[in-house]
Structure 1
Amino acid sequence: MRLGIVSPVVTRVPGAHAEWERSAGIEELARIARTADGLGFHHLTCSEHVAVPADVAEQRGGTYWDPLATLGHLAAHTERIRLATQVLVLGYHHPLEIAKRYGTLDRVSGGRLVLGLGVGSLAEEFALLDAPFEGRGARADDALAALRASLSRREPEYHGAFYDFEGFVVDPHAVQPQVPLWIGGRTARSLRRAVEYGDGWVPFGLPVDRLAEMLAAAELPENFDVVLSAGRTDPSGDPEATGRALRRVREAGATVVSTAIDARSATHYCEQLEALWALAGKTD
């Protein structure tokens, strides 16, 4: 079981972030990333929203750091930890735009990119960006197929229902022969999409029992990543509850566990990372 973290600071969803994160910046985040990297954590995350309507921000939050700029900076402060977008909204980008920008991130990070990708659900943001909202599932499927054909290739070629291109050079591009694609979602369709087009599934907003049922009913490919959240944990303050949370998602089928961490400061967060890492070793 590999262990990753839901990065603090980069998002502020009401009720899901600590007070210290309001005044924290890239220095604190880089310190946390270096600690996680040194311990051996699998990945850290950064999600994507371009602009959230003010009324929606009251529920979803309005602070979302740009993943490309954020992960590019953290790449320079780390050596091993994977840099995961969780998630990019496929409908906001042309596949070659993702291939070029995030392929460059893969290059500068030495092949540590994980592309977490999703269909998206915020209609107002789609409209703002002039991106089609209706039919976004079929368009996302085509975008995933186009990405699979394009990442790591200097002269990609793809001919699909929504995306059609050849005769273009994308350089630099990803250095990994196959960049891991983790597909986000909370439906059976998202799991099928992940199995068909991706290398892993990153569900959200579902109880663990339901996740276990969905995974048990699915035929998963070999080496397929199931990235489940252990929720918010307090490794040093409540190690027993944290251990139970880790075991529960592992038993549900997780191959990678991603967790948010309660902390009072960046310093305390790093201490919590050390406690979590030690606890995860005992849980295994």
Structure 2
Amino acid sequence: MRIGLSTPVVFQLPGAYSEWERDAGIEDIAEIAQTADELGFDHLTCAEHVAIPAAAASQRGGVYWDPGVTLGYLAACTRRIRLATSVVVLGYHHPLTLAKRYGTLDVISGGRLVLGVGVGSLAEEFALLGAPFTDRGARADDALRALRAALSEREPAYTGDYYTFQGMVVEPHATQKKVPLWVGGRTFRSLRRACDLGDGWMPFGLSTKELGDLLARVEPPEGFEVVLSSGPLDPETDPEGARSRLRELREVGATAVTVSVVARSCAHYCDQLATLRTLAAQEEGSRE
């Protein structure tokens, strides 16, 4: 089971982020990304929201760094770790916009893109952007098919219910022959969409039991990724709790885990990552 990083600072959920993140900047994010890269973490993430209604910010958070710009910067600061959007809302973009923007990221990172995508649920944001809301699920399905046809092609062609294109050059485009597409969500429909049209499922806001119940209803294709979130871990103060949480997620079916850690500062965050990496290695060793 691989371990990735829910990048701090770039998304600040009320009640879940550490106080030091409030005033942190890109230098702190880069230091943490470089540490995770050197420690052998699998991926780091960045979410997407354009604008959050003020009335909803106390629940959803108001801080969302742009994933294209942020991951582009971190691509230059790292060498191996994969760069995952978690998630881009499909309905906000034409598939070729995503193919160009994130295909470029794949090029400049040397083929490290993981394109995490979602249907979206914030009606006010859809309305702000002039994006259709009521049929967003069907549009997302068509967009996923279009992305699969377009991401790694110089002259992509696709004909679907909502998107059709041909005779257009997209350059640069992704260097990977098949960019991993991870589908976010918290419903069985999102899991079904991931199995049918993607390469992995990255759910949120579900209990371990709920995850297990949903995963028991499908037979994922070979190589399918189940990317689960750990919630905040404190490997320094509660090492057994961190081990137990990783073990729990592996047992429910995770092929990869996206972790976050509690910390007092950027430096402490990096120390916590190192401690967690040691614990994870010990846990893996105990299973051999």
**Which of the five TM-score ranges fits, normalised by the shorter chain?**
over 0.9
**Counterparts of 1:97 and 1:126, CA distance in 2:** 17
Displacement of 1:89 = 0.2
Displacement of 1:244 = 0.4
Q: Structure 1-normalised TM-score?
A: 0.99
1:43 aligns to 2:43 (yes or no): yes
Displacement of 1:174 = 0.2
**Counterparts of 2:60 and 2:212, CA distance in 1:** 26
Q: SS at 1:64's partner residue? A: coil
Structure 2 residue runs of 5 or longer lacking an equivalent are none
Structure 1 residue runs of 5 or longer lacking an equivalent are none
Residue 198 (structure 1) aligns with:
198
- After TM superposition, the structure 1 = structure 2 runs for residues 154-173 of structure 1, keeping only pairs within 5 Å, are 154-173=154-173
Query: CA deviation digits over 1:122-172, x for unaligned, max 9?
Result: 000000000000110000000000000001100000000000000000000
Residue 68 (structure 2) aligns with:
68
Displacement of 1:53 = 0.5
Displacement of 1:106 = 0.2
Displacement of 1:13 = 1.2
Displacement of 1:269 = 0.3
**Counterparts of 2:211 and 2:40, CA distance in 1:** 27
Q: Identify which range, 208-217 or 128-137, moves more after superposition.
A: 208-217
Residue 186 (structure 2) aligns with:
186
Residue 31 (structure 1) aligns with:
31
- After TM superposition, the structure 1 = structure 2 runs for residues 1-12 of structure 1, keeping only pairs within 5 Å, are 1-12=1-12
**Counterparts of 1:8 and 1:227, CA distance in 2:** 18
Displacement of 1:231 = 1.2
**Counterparts of 2:247 and 2:229, CA distance in 1:** 11
Query: CA deviation digits over 1:179-211, x for unaligned, max 9?
Result: 000000011100000001100000111101111
**Counterparts of 2:282 and 2:213, CA distance in 1:** 27
- After TM superposition, the structure 1 = structure 2 runs for residues 129-144 of structure 1, keeping only pairs within 5 Å, are 129-144=129-144
Displacement of 1:217 = 2.0
Q: Structure 2-normalised TM-score?
A: 0.98
Displacement of 1:59 = 0.9
Displacement of 1:237 = 1.1
Displacement of 1:70 = 0.3
Q: SS at 1:50's partner residue? A: coil
**Counterparts of 1:34 and 1:119, CA distance in 2:** 31
Query: CA deviation digits over 1:64-92, x for unaligned, max 9?
Result: 00000000000000000000000000000
Identity of aligned residues (%): 65
Q: SS at 1:230's partner residue? A: strand
Displacement of 1:60 = 0.5
Displacement of 1:58 = 1.3
Q: SS at 1:12's partner residue? A: coil
- After TM superposition, the structure 1 = structure 2 runs for residues 241-280 of structure 1, keeping only pairs within 5 Å, are 241-280=241-280
**Counterparts of 2:265 and 2:237, CA distance in 1:** 14
Query: CA deviation digits over 1:229-284, x for unaligned, max 9?
Result: 11110011110000000000000000001111100000000000000000011111
Q: SS at 1:237's partner residue? A: coil
**Counterparts of 2:282 and 2:221, CA distance in 1:** 28
Q: SS at 2:86's partner residue? A: strand
Output the amino acid matched with 2:86: Q
